[in-house]
Structure 1
Amino acid sequence: MMNQQYFIGIDIGAGSLTTMIIDLAGTVVGSASEDLLTRSPHSGWSEQDPQDWWRALCLTAKQALAQAAIRPNQVKSISLSAGAHTPVLVDAYGHVVRPAILWSDTRSRVEAAELKDKHGSEIFEIARNSPAPTWTQPQLLWLARHEPESIARTKRLYIAKDWLRAQLTGTWETDHTEASGTMLYDPGRGDWSERLCEMIGLDRSILPPIVAVTDVVGEVTAAAAEESGLAAGTPVVCGSSDTSLETYGAGAVALGTGAVKLATAATITMVSSEPGLSTSVINYPFCVPDYWYLIGATNSCASAHRWLRDTFFAESGMTGAQAFASMDKEASSVLPGANGLLFHPYLQGERTPYWDPLLRGDFLGITFAHERRHFVRALYEGVAFSLYDVLLALEEQGKSMTEARIIGGGSRSAVWRQIVADVLGITIIMPRITDASFGAALVAAVGIGAFPDLPTAAEQTVSTVARHEPDGHQHQHYQELHAIYRDAAKALFDINHRLSAINRE
């Protein structure tokens, strides 16, 4: 182990920060996570304190090194990832101006709608995406109107992982994927857009230089080393957004591949040679050069699963993993189609393809023949149907997918994985490691030349533990059910809007 090379990947997740240490074979030798607190001081707000990220990094880095039983100077490079769209505003003295606004924050609904009404087609033409509260551009417009003092104090804008990396290196930069996530970037030119900045009155000078994902941007400073337990002088590689790096780290690096994520929300990410042509999906430059990844999402997945557990299984006395295992067993005892029971997972509205926050969830077709186990099966299938809507939206743009790597907490269910394969009609492959911190660690290795490029690093280190081929007969059956599922969803649009209007709690 004395001559072995190790690489660290650090990921800021929605609820926790993870530090992972891998070797050249892609073996995880040390890993640690620390919970992060998301604050919601007002309805629709989601914020985190960037200082919490730094404290979590310092704690988990020491824990991961101890678990790996290696010296800090055996780590050859470090890289980072985090959720996109999360701006950190810093003043002239290097102080954080205010808490970071997360991608899930919806306070800028009015500003997003205004930007879409006034400049929607122009924004899409430049940024390749459509305004919504998740993007940095409308968030900054909200701040300009409601907290003008915050904007006035700001001298530098960082994105989440870039601010955290700056605590290690003292440098200021971002990558092209994160730049795209601000909706202030022109991917056609590969640079910030004066026009997009002008729309919200933003001074472009606060935006960072843009570098490649695998660029070495600095090294761990002596001060950072003392706090974090990392070795001073360790090279630090830029990194990228969590979705880009978890898709990459799962092994989806070729055209026609992608990732299905069964997490709090569910997503399909597809690797493409070009961006999509409509606003139904989101487009980002991929960490693999010259490629894009297109992403569509359903809002409620593991969150709906947890709600069903807490609502229907609480009286059993089972909690956590035990309850989920029981639910999985019950779902496996039910034939495909859940005896005619359908579930629309719109518990928090829906994104792709409807982009409607007022939609509501439902179980449809309930009879006296239905038992608790049917509701679990229907939930698994309903989320898969919603993902099929996402896949159809991608296919409408001329894109196709033959296989997908499956990631996220829901992927632990073999039953759910097979349902996803049968509904989507594609091969589903489960990687051995699915955390974005693994992809970040591979980026760290590529950045210092341990591998010649990102695809080679993935090819040589990513391994899989399960493979699910779609059953043609079941796929045909699910297509028939999905047609009913989609017709029912559309028929209930007006009902959902009326319910939302009359029941404002």
Structure 2
Amino acid sequence: MSSDTLLLGIDLGAGSLKSTVINGSGTVVATASLPVETLSPKPGFSEQDPEGWWSALTGSLRKIWAMGVDPAQIAAVSVTAGAHTHVLTDSNGRILRPAIMWNDQRSGVQVDKARAAQGREILALSGNRISATWSLPQLMWVREQEPETHAAIRCVLPAKDWLRFRLDGTIATEVTDAWGLMLADAQAGGWSDALCAMAGLSVDALPPILASTAVTGKVTAQAAAQTGLRQGTVVICGTSDTNAETYAAGMTRPGIGALKLATAGTVSTLTASPAFSEDVIHYPHLVPQHYYAILGTNSCASAHRWLRDALFADIGFDGMDKQAQTAPAGCEGLLFHPYLNGERSPYWDPDLRASFVGLGFGHSAPHICRALYEGIAYTLRDCLAVLQDRHMGFDTARLVGGGTRSALWRQIIADVTGLTIEIPAEGDASYGAALIAGIGVGVFADTDDAARVIRVSETLQPDPANADVYARGFARFRAAKEALTSLNHSTVRELREGK
């Protein structure tokens, strides 16, 4: 490859699509993003229009070309997106319904039924516990609630694969997103006839499974006209956003973890072999012969955004951060549980709800802002404890996601978890996608070679002065959650019944 070779990574997040161009040394040349809209037609529903993704993709690339990037220099492009989000199409390739998102909670009834009747079989085949996050129960919901739509399904494509199909016209996926559909056989490989039957689908409706770094095709004439990319640009398969992001952050060997402050919050670690259980989610990792174990909280930056919109729209995120800096550690007893859309790890409870606990006349706006930071840090500590109990913990973590822009929040994460926190210079999924494009087209020899360009820009140590206050706060956080669980359940049940 010539010295002016460029690589393009595209990541579809829950709230925006971001495109990043890097050179062969891993330096970011240009980046651009556009928002994507989430629809909530009913409580607990979370959907997006795939055509909106494509509009954001083409719009972000127009921004990049306007920065002076020459499309002819792009050697390869790769796409990532959140796992579990899928597109359903008919025999003509027409989208049948909005894409159900990973944070959608509508399939709780289907989850309960499947867990009671087939929970052990699903865990044994898929390697993961069934919950409302996964595509399998969402497809069960479509079969029961939208039978005409279900009958018309001829292809199920993970979100990033639908976007890539729009680029090169090929139907394919890779193993991480295949696991994310909960339709793949984690033990034997390939698609599972039994899991597909539970979803009411034929294996024929699912794409071939390729390597994440495999060449799937080339940019078509139609896609070139819409995106500005050069026709014939090589397209690489790609992977899920978390897989790409943890790799780009530097989680390339066991012993280093990754924490993510994005729409959802996650805790991940690399392992040489998966220990399938109901408590920890596993996926294959980009690093060959390795897997990543991950636990996640449903609401992280999304809770931050909710609080801004609800109470602090006049001062915005920067104003909230300045407010939070003036409140003491522990917020003088104020706690926040960020369960605005139920919770995944470690409770797997779609009927939990958020709460501020311990409010008094002595609390004000700074306490509320800081309590949100601390509450999300407590949820990450809750997830970390699951890994530690299974001897999968770590002492150092790479911190990624939009929340890392707050210096205060970064330090709170270190203080609450007790971890050494490292901030990657470039650690998002679009950067990881660009590295994958480089591996696929030969700019980098393999994942080890590409990892040489990953750098750390900041290291944070836990402040021992805050250890006791956060240990007590975490204990109260857990106790309050337990005390409120039955009330949350009855409240949600009554709302469902229209009371």
Mapped partners of 1:499, 1:39: distance in 2: 23
2:478 aligned residue: 486
**SS of structure 1 residue aligned to 2:452:** helix
Conserved? CA contact 1:251–1:459, under 8 Å: no
Mapped partners of 1:58, 1:349: distance in 2: 34
2:234 aligned residue: 235
Moved more, 166-175 or 291-300: 291-300
**Structure 1 residue 73: deviation in Å?**
1.8
**Structure 1 residue 76: deviation in Å?**
0.6
Taking a change above 3 Å as real, the CA distance of residues 224 and 371 of structure 1, as seen in their structure-2 partners, is closer
Q: What is the CA deviation profile of residues 326-374 of structure 1, one whole-angstrom value per residue up to 9, with x for unaligned ones?
A: 3323323333222233322233332211122332333333344333322
Aligned-CA RMSD value: 2.2
- TM-score when normalising by structure 2: 0.93
Q: What is the CA deviation profile of residues 206-246 of structure 1, one whole-angstrom value per residue up to 9, with x for unaligned ones?
A: 11111110111111122322222111111111000111111
1:185-264 aligned at under 5 Å gives the runs: 185-264=184-263
1:147 aligned residue: 146
**SS of structure 2 residue aligned to 1:45:** coil
Mapped partners of 1:170, 1:244: distance in 2: 24
Listed as ranges, the gaps of 5+ residues in structure 2 are none
**SS of structure 2 residue aligned to 1:171:** coil
**Structure 1 residue 383: deviation in Å?**
1.4
Whether 1:362 aligns to 2:323 is no
Conserved? CA contact 2:103–2:298, under 8 Å: no
2:445 aligned residue: 452
2:130 aligned residue: 131
**SS of structure 2 residue aligned to 1:20:** strand
Conserved? CA contact 2:276–2:282, under 8 Å: no
- Kindly report structure 1 stretches of 4+ aligned residues shifted beyond 4 Å: 501-505
1:184 aligned residue: 183
Mapped partners of 1:421, 1:435: distance in 2: 20
Moved more, 248-257 or 176-185: 248-257
Conserved? CA contact 1:424–1:475, under 8 Å: no
Taking a change above 3 Å as real, the CA distance of residues 205 and 309 of structure 1, as seen in their structure-2 partners, is closer
* AA matched with 2:217: G
**Structure 1 residue 175: deviation in Å?**
0.4
* AA matched with 1:386: T
**Structure 1 residue 312: deviation in Å?**
4.4
Conserved? CA contact 1:215–1:447, under 8 Å: yes
Taking a change above 3 Å as real, the CA distance of residues 447 and 39 of structure 1, as seen in their structure-2 partners, is same
* AA matched with 1:496: N
State the number of aligned residues: 497
Conserved? CA contact 2:15–2:263, under 8 Å: no
2:365 aligned residue: 372
Moved more, 484-493 or 213-222: 484-493
Q: What is the CA deviation profile of residues 115-140 of structure 1, one whole-angstrom value per residue up to 9, with x for unaligned ones?
A: 11110011111111112222111122
Q: What is the CA deviation profile of residues 237-292 of structure 1, one whole-angstrom value per residue up to 9, with x for unaligned ones?
A: 10001111111112221112222112233221222222244222322111222111
Whether 1:413 aligns to 2:409 is no
1:463 aligned residue: 455
Whether 1:30 aligns to 2:30 is yes
Mapped partners of 1:138, 1:47: distance in 2: 15
**Structure 1 residue 501: deviation in Å?**
4.4
Mapped partners of 1:168, 1:121: distance in 2: 39
Conserved? CA contact 1:405–1:431, under 8 Å: yes
Q: What is the CA deviation profile of residues 447-504 of structure 1, one whole-angstrom value per residue up to 9, with x for unaligned ones?
A: 11111112321222x2232211123443344223312321222122223334444566
Q: What is the CA deviation profile of residues 353-405 of structure 1, one whole-angstrom value per residue up to 9, with x for unaligned ones?
A: 11223323333333443333223222222211111100001222221112111
Moved more, 476-485 or 225-234: 476-485
Conserved? CA contact 2:132–2:350, under 8 Å: no
Whether 1:77 aligns to 2:76 is yes
* AA matched with 1:497: H
**SS of structure 2 residue aligned to 1:259:** strand
Moved more, 217-226 or 476-485: 476-485
1:426 aligned residue: 419
Conserved? CA contact 2:9–2:430, under 8 Å: yes
2:315 aligned residue: 319
**Structure 1 residue 113: deviation in Å?**
1.7
Taking a change above 3 Å as real, the CA distance of residues 306 and 38 of structure 1, as seen in their structure-2 partners, is closer
Taking a change above 3 Å as real, the CA distance of residues 99 and 494 of structure 1, as seen in their structure-2 partners, is closer
Mapped partners of 2:63, 2:309: distance in 1: 33
* AA matched with 1:410: G
2:383 aligned residue: 390
* AA matched with 1:17: L
Conserved? CA contact 1:84–1:178, under 8 Å: yes
Whether 1:17 aligns to 2:17 is yes
Moved more, 50-59 or 495-504: 495-504
**Structure 1 residue 32: deviation in Å?**
1.9
**Structure 1 residue 21: deviation in Å?**
0.9
Taking a change above 3 Å as real, the CA distance of residues 419 and 273 of structure 1, as seen in their structure-2 partners, is same
Moved more, 99-108 or 416-425: 99-108
Q: What is the CA deviation profile of residues 132-179 of structure 1, one whole-angstrom value per residue up to 9, with x for unaligned ones?
A: 222111122222223333333332221111111112211111000000
1:55 aligned residue: 55
Whether 1:171 aligns to 2:164 is no
Conserved? CA contact 1:82–1:241, under 8 Å: yes
Mapped partners of 1:44, 1:493: distance in 2: 18
- TM-score when normalising by structure 1: 0.92
Taking a change above 3 Å as real, the CA distance of residues 300 and 44 of structure 1, as seen in their structure-2 partners, is closer
Conserved? CA contact 1:277–1:397, under 8 Å: no
* AA matched with 2:470: Y
